Amino acid sequence: MADNHGNTPAAWTGVTVAMLGFIVGGVGLMLDPVSMTLFWVGCALGVAALVVFAVMARMGLNSSDH
């Protein structure tokens, strides 16, 4: 395993956006009545995290050599 495994700007940003998505989706499910809109916003943020990571990795922010 690489020494910089996961310690890159792309990885940290992707994980942060994904965590925000899980929090938003979880809050939406805990509301009474359940807010499916908020849940789906959280799901969209989870997918957006993958896109953000892929774009940042393509920009070269997925290595600690910069």
* Within-domain flag for 26: yes
pLDDT(65) > 70 = no
Residue that is written with structure tokens 């965590």 in the block: 19
* Within-domain flag for 5: no
How many domains does the chain divide into?
1
pTM: 0.85
How does the average pLDDT of the chain come out, rounded?
A: 91
* Within-domain flag for 34: yes
Query: In the Cβ-directed half-sphere of 61, how many Cα atoms lie within 13 Å?
Result: 12
Q: Which domain holds residue 24?
A: 13-57
Q: Look at residue 7 and give its three-state secondary structure.
A: coil
Average pLDDT for residues 33-56, to the nearest whole number? 97
What does the pLDDT read at residue 4? Answer: 61
In this prediction, residue 58 has a pLDDT band, given cuts at 50, 70 and 90, of: very high
Among 63, 65, 66, residue whose Cα is nearest residue 5 = 63
* Within-domain flag for 38: yes
pLDDT digits (tens, 9 = 90+) for 8-19: 999 999 999 999
